[in-house]
Amino acid sequence: MTDQELLQRITLNPQVMTGKPVVRGTRLTVEYILNLLAHDTSIADILEEYEGLTESDIKACFLFAQKSLESTYFMPMVA
């Protein structure tokens, strides 16, 4: 699956979840999915819990986050 095909799985709509990026056809935000993964929830457990969600949807969350950070500038922290 291409980057473009994966990114089409993520939508932004001001009427849904206050405009946060969500997995298409759900109210699951990219932020929420990544938070589950960061706290050791397995992909298998997420897919079991959220019927209709696919592994490609989770990959799309990773790609969306990566693309979002790509153009972000981080200032070095000064002690």
pLDDT for position 41 = 98
Give how many domains the chain has, as a whole number: 1
What is the full per-residue pLDDT of the chain (79 aa) written as tens digits? Answer: 899 999 999 999 999 999 999 999 999 999 999 999 999 999 999 999 999 999 999 999 999 999 999 988 888 888 7
pLDDT for position 75 = 86
Residue 17, domain member (yes or no): yes
**Domain membership of residue 53 as a residue range:** 3-67
pLDDT for position 48 = 97
Reading the block at residue 76, the tokens are 């070095």
Q: Tokens 């990959």 correspond to what residue?
A: 59
d(CA 16, CA 26): 9
Phi, psi of 65, rounded to the nearest 5 degrees: -65, -45
What's the CATH number where 38 sits? 1.10.10.10
**Is the whole-model pTM more than 0.85?**
yes
d(CA 53, CA 70): 26
CA–CA–CA angle 28, 63, 9 (5° rounding): 50
Residue 13, domain member (yes or no): yes
